[in-house]
């Protein structure tokens, strides 16, 4: 039997997203074309690889086996391409980045500068929450990962490369923003609060801060994206805590206001991490250098290497 690399690539995308539509968007193909390739692969294998129960897709046992092999095969192809690219220096190559959603506001500028310096390097960017990134980390799916906290329970290396202050934001004209008095988390606890979803690093930091103050936020709504949280605060649905980089534009134009709360901003950091056992490509090393060159304001940013030991 002959299976093409394209079939493996398409099947892996469908298997990872469990959606023909999302796979088609990621691959820049039509949904019928993606479905046809998967069906052809199933015919060659002689067994169904994906089954539909209701509106959801599930991998069959055969599908799990093919997915595991597809990852190995495509991983070897990527490794080969990187080795060949390294023989040409940084003239050509590919860099796969996975970043938490909050970092998408600051990181594009770094990617833009990197791409301008290395136009032959194709940069693939995946955005997700912390839980999704750790799952990709476990699959060794990317070259580098940007998170608000270093990975835990995974054999990894991580470095601080920038500060990430979290601030309390309120809609324009909110009562707590009047008078200029210093506030506490106890003051915040009396008002509705908007939070990110379970698994969000920002949410974990906020809950820990409130717990230290002996209170809990009065959660009105849980939202899965920073944009949704921002729009909810602007609409007056509640207060929230977000990265200052996330709300910089809204603060500057007066759509939101930063509240002067004791203990805030919560000073967190951006980490760049990679699997300890994975050999970094020249492109990954060059991108690390680009991040490090912009981390001068963070004490010990370059030398703060964190090893998260598996187990």
CA dist., res. 81 & res. 40, Å (int): 27
Question: What is the predicted pLDDT for the residue at 230?
Answer: 93
CA dist., res. 137 & res. 135, Å (int): 5
pLDDT at 44 over 70: yes
Question: What is the predicted pLDDT for the residue at 201?
Answer: 75
Beta bridge partners of 224: none
Domain 87-162+269-308 belongs in CATH node 3.40.190.10: yes
CA dist., res. 62 & res. 83, Å (int): 32
Read off the pLDDT of each residue in 100-129 and give the average, rounded to a whole number: 88
Read off the pLDDT of each residue in 198-202 and give the average, rounded to a whole number: 76
Q: How confident is the model at residue 91 (pLDDT cuts 50, 70, 90)?
A: low
User: Any idea which of 17-31, 109-123, 184-198, 292-306 has the lowest mean pLDDT?
Assistant: 292-306
pLDDT at 229 over 90: yes
SS3 content of the chain, % helix, strand, coil (to 5): 45, 25, 30
**Residue 241: both structure tokens together:** 């805590």
Stretch(es) of the chain classified as CATH 1.10.10.10: 5-69
* Cβ atoms of 204 and 102 closer than 8 Å: no
pLDDT at 148 over 90: no
pLDDT at 311 over 50: no
pLDDT tens digits, residue range 59-79? 999 999 999 999 888 888 877
CA dist., res. 84 & res. 203, Å (int): 42
How high does pLDDT run on average in the chain?
85
Higher pLDDT, residue 206 or 302 = 206
pLDDT tens digits, residue range 121-142? 889 999 988 888 988 898 888 9
Q: What CA dihedral angle connects 235, 216, 162 and 98, to 10 degrees?
A: -70
Q: How confident is the model at residue 87 (pLDDT cuts 50, 70, 90)?
A: low
pTM: 0.63
Q: 207 to each of 112, 196, 203, how far by Cα in Å?
A: 34, 11, 6
Superfamily of domain 163-268, CATH level 4: Periplasmic binding protein-like II (3.40.190.10)
**Residue 239: both structure tokens together:** 């207060």
Stretch(es) of the chain classified as CATH 3.40.190.10: 87-162+269-308, 163-268
Helices (H), the chain: 5-17, 20-27, 31-45, 61-87, 107-117, 130-138, 185-188, 201-212, 226-234, 244-252, 282-293
CATH number of the 5-69 domain? 1.10.10.10
Percent of the chain with pLDDT over 90: 44
Residue 23 DSSP SS3: helix
């Amino acid at each position: 039997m002959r299976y093409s690399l394209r079939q493996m690539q398409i099947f892996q995308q469908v298997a990872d997203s469990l959606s023909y539509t999302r796979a088609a968007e990621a691959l820049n193909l039509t949904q019928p074309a993606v479905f046809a390739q998967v069906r052809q692969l199933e015919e060659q294998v002689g067994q169904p690889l994906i089954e539909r129960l209701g509106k959801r897709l599930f991998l069959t046992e055969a599908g799990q086996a093919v997915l595991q092999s597809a990852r190995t095969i495509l991983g070897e192809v990527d490794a080969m391409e990187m080795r060949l690219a390294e023989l040409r220096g940084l003239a050509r190559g590919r860099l796969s980045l996975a970043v938490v959603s909050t970092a998408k506001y600051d990181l594009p500028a770094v990617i833009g500068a990197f791409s301008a310096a290395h136009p032959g390097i194709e940069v693939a960017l995946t955005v997700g929450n912390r839980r999704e990134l750790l799952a990709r980390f476990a699959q060794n799916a990317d070259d580098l990962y940007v998170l608000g906290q270093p990975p835990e329970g995974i054999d990894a290396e991580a470095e601080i490369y920038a500060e990430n202050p979290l601030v309390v934001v309120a809609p324009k004209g909110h009562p707590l923003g009047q008078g200029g008095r210093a506030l506490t988390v106890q003051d915040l606890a009396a008002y509705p609060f908007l939070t990110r979803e379970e698994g969000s690093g920002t949410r974990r930091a906020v809950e820990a801060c409130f717990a230290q103050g002996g209170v809990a936020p009065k959660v009105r709504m849980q939202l899965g994206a920073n944009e949704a949280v921002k729009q909810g605060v602007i609409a007056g649905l509640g207060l929230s805590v977000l990265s200052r980089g996330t709300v910089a534009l809204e603060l500057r134009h007066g759509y939101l206001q930063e509240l002067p709360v004791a203990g805030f901003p919560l000073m967190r950091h951006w980490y760049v991490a990679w699997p300890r056992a994975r050999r970094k490509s020249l492109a990954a090393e060059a991108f690390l250098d680009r991040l490090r060159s912009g981390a001068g304001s963070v004490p010990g940013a370059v030398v703060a290497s964190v090893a998260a030991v598996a187990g």
